[in-house]
Amino acid sequence: MATATQFFAKPWVRWAIIGLVVVLMIVLPLILPAFANQTLARIGVFAVAVLGLNVVMGYTGQVSLGQIFFVGVGAYVTAYGVNNDWNIALVFILAVLIPGVIGLLIALAAARLGGLAIAMVTIALPLIGVPLAKRLSEFTGGSQGSSARFSAAPEWTGLYDDQWQLYIVIAIAGIVFLLTRNLVHGKYGRAFAIVKGNEAVASSMGISPYRYKVLAFTIASLIGGVSGFLYMVVVQYTSPETMSFGHSITLLASMVIGGAGSILGSLLGGAYYVLAPQLTNAVDSSLTAVLQGVILLVILFVLPGGLVSLPRLWRRRKNEHRGMPAGGAGSAQAATATIAPTAPAYVVPDTSAPEPIPPTQSQEKRQDT
Amino acid sequence: MGTFIQLVIDGLSAGSIYAALALAIVLVNQATGLINFAQGGMAVLAAYFAYSFIQWGVPLILAILLSILVSFVLGALIERFLMRRFEQGDPDTAVVVTIGLLTLITGLCGWIWSFNNLQFPSLFPVQNVNILGAVVSIRSIGTTLVIVGIMILLQLLFIGTKLGLALRAVAVNPQSAAFSGLPVGRLLMVGWGLAAGLGAIAGALIAPSQTLTPGMMDAALVYALAAVILGGMSSPIGVVLAAWMIGVLENLAAVYVPFIGYDLKIAVPFILIFIVLIVRPQGLFGRKEVVRV
């Protein structure tokens, strides 16, 4: 394993893997069947939404239950713009900026509040958003929703629609993921981490918790807007149901299942968001809700750190098997080292993004008392 | 004037149900520091239990009492075998676990008892009385009185009994409580059980007016959460007052403010929260938490 880690840490190996991923992204849409392409595109859409949630919640520690609202606003702006024949670049910019501005305004007030109060203010967004979308039927088409077809493949490409849409999603989502990765691994990421860890310490270091909370929330809204635009690219239809409270909660669950505070976890979260209902529907449609609940609980019971912590868990098991000490400094090392093989394209060993503390130790202690 | 009184009393009755659920949420939050999103779902499950008991020929009042008992046990078991694993870890994960629990319970209810609306008999006679020229249903008055009674009982439990003292000790500082010989785990189970029992009462009170469906409590849960924030986590009485305020104000706003109407009345408590929290971040009645560095 150690040799494998060293192998993956070599620069040329990383570049080779990045290259491989890029080639796969270009080739796969051409050879996969249409249904797989559509599913992948939807995963991309919701991975971006989860990524936005991760910025505000996973990295900055502010519980947001309203992320889906920004996705919905982005989708509605896109639909409205397309139906009024605006330039598509302008539509994209507006679909990102308008949710961002709304997010900024809400954050300016909500970030004054601590802890759960932010959760309660953001819980209101989808709850008010749905009836409001029905009410403002001039812009939104009321309960009927509104559809916009603009993502058909152009003639010159010779592609099918689903391939073209997947390429758009891959390109935009890829850029957003890359930008976010750079953001959270840099100066801002460290500031977010300390705001999450301890606001008093943050203030004493000259980092205003208020300012960084507003920043994180605004970035999350912007990314939500991007996700909304992509949603329209893929689904081509939006209704008030898009931003319902249930979806917002599922988005939150997806983030934690994928892995809070992790770029790769966002991708896994998006996959969970799309695949879990498909899977449970395929098993037995009358048991969908039961199975989803069970899957959610089982994943968290086995992996409280989310799917992204699977390699770490595996590694620790292996160490215990060999009789090596697990946990403590060793497990922290393992944490940074073992993610690398699975996420060479994104993860740099970096202390600024704190991994969730391996919970087993405290639990063992707890069971004794 | 008649409409006004009617709206206020109906609002109080709706607010009472939010209050019962909100008290349950506060109970769990004070003991374990997390928000239980499944509280509403557990209440619905309790209502379905009561429904089944009634189907088996158990008298209504006994069926409700039985469902409260079953809920108590179930709440304690959920704490012991599900939540305890997450209580020391990342709070976000614990919250999502309760969301998973909500999904699971809702699904189970729908699977066992179907998603159709079921008729649940009312504890109070379906009659109206005349108060100052307003026609008020006995159910509204009864619901409100039941909640007032429960609030008094809870207050007595927490202030007047040894169990209440122990529960409060665990809430304030679990570690110190353990050092002074309190069975912390068992007390947490009792806390969750009490919360589930309270939820069961809310379920039995709301089921007759809304008819029994798996999603019956979803809106009530949101209002209850709003009441919890508005009243302040640390003040049970404040939470009940806030819940009443929400019930009454949303009823009045739906009728008297044309733009709001019935579809947007859910915005009322949140506009209220927004204003209150900016002026008083600790809630209307809560104490300011002092964080030591």
Instruction: Look up the CATH number of domain B2-279.
Output: 1.10.3470
Report, as an integer, the average pLDDT of A76-101. 93
The pLDDT value recorded for residue B286 is 66
**Subunit contact B264:A131, Cβ cutoff 8 A:** yes
Is B96 in contact with A248 (CB distance < 8 Å)? no
Residues 6 or more apart whose CB falls under 8 angstroms from that of B35 comprise A116, A119, B25, B28, B29, B95, B98, B225, B228
CA distance B177 to A41: 52
Report, as an integer, the average pLDDT of A124-145. 85
- pLDDT band at residue B129, thresholds of 50, 70 and 90? confident
Residue of A nearest to B102 (CA): A293
- pLDDT band at residue B289, thresholds of 50, 70 and 90? low
Chain B hits for A113, CB-CB cut-off 8 Å, are 277, 281
Could you tell me the residue ranges of all domains in chain B? 2-279
Query: Between B173 and A93, where is the model more confident?
Result: A93
Residues 6 or more apart whose CB falls under 8 angstroms from that of A204 comprise none
What does pLDDT average to over chain A? 82
The minimal CB distance from B107 to the residues A63, A128, A293 is found for A293
> Token pair for residue A292?
């989803």
Distance of CA A7 to the CA centre of its chain: 29
Is residue A121 pLDDT above 90, yes or no? no
Interface-testing mutation among A127, A283, A287, A365, with chain B (most B C-beta atoms within 10 A): A127
Sign for the CA dihedral angle at B238, B277, B195, A287 comes to positive
Residue of A nearest to B275 (CA): A109
CA distance B34 to B220: 19
Judged by phi (left if over 0) then psi (alpha if -120 to 50, else beta), residue A245 lies in alpha
Collapsing DSSP to helix, strand or coil, B250 comes out as: helix
Identity of the highest mean pLDDT range in A108-117, A146-155, A160-169: A160-169
Is residue A245 pLDDT above 90, yes or no? no
Looking at A159-163, A215-219, B276-280, which range is the least confident one?
A: B276-280
Is B101 in contact with B114 (CB distance < 8 Å)? no
Is residue A361 pLDDT above 60, yes or no? no
**Subunit contact A253:B291, Cβ cutoff 8 A:** no
Question: Which CB contacts under 8 angstroms, 24+ apart, belong to A347-352?
Answer: A347/A263, A347/A264, A348/A185, A350/A185, A350/A189, A352/A184, A352/A185, A352/A186, A352/A189, A352/A190, A352/A193
CA distance B243 to chain A (A): 15
Chain A hits for B226, CB-CB cut-off 8 Å, are 120
> Token pair for residue A365?
């202690």
- pLDDT band at residue A344, thresholds of 50, 70 and 90? very low
Interface-testing mutation among A56, A69, A256, A284, with chain B (most B C-beta atoms within 10 A): A256
**Phi and psi torsions of B131, nearest 5°:** -120, 115
Strand partners, B128: B137
**DSSP tag of A63:** -
Q: For A292-334, how does the pLDDT look when each residue is reduced to its tens digit (9 = 90+)? A: 888 888 888 888 888 888 887 788 777 776 655 444 444 444 4
Is residue B79 pLDDT above 80, yes or no? yes
Collapsing DSSP to helix, strand or coil, A325 comes out as: coil
Residues 6 or more apart whose CB falls under 8 angstroms from that of B52 comprise B113
Instruction: Write down the pTM of the prediction.
Output: 0.80
CA distance B71 to chain A (A): 19
Residue B78's CB: how many other CB atoms inside 10 A?
21
**Subunit contact B264:A132, Cβ cutoff 8 A:** yes
* Residue in the block written with tokens 């008055």: B141
Is residue A356 pLDDT above 70, yes or no? no
- pLDDT above 90 covers a percentage of chain A that reads 35
Chain A hits for B99, CB-CB cut-off 8 Å, are 249, 252-253, 296
Q: Is the confidence metric ipTM above 0.90 for this complex?
A: no
Is B39 in contact with B171 (CB distance < 8 Å)? no
Is residue A128 pLDDT above 70, yes or no? yes
Strand partners, A147: A237
Could you tell me the residue ranges of all domains in chain A? 38-245
Query: Between A86 and B287, where is the model more confident?
Result: A86
CA distance A26 to A10: 25
Chain A hits for B224, CB-CB cut-off 8 Å, are none
Q: For A4-47, how does the pLDDT look when each residue is reduced to its tens digit (9 = 90+)? A: 666 777 788 888 888 898 888 888 888 888 899 999 999 999 99
The minimal CB distance from B100 to the residues A116, A134, A293 is found for A293
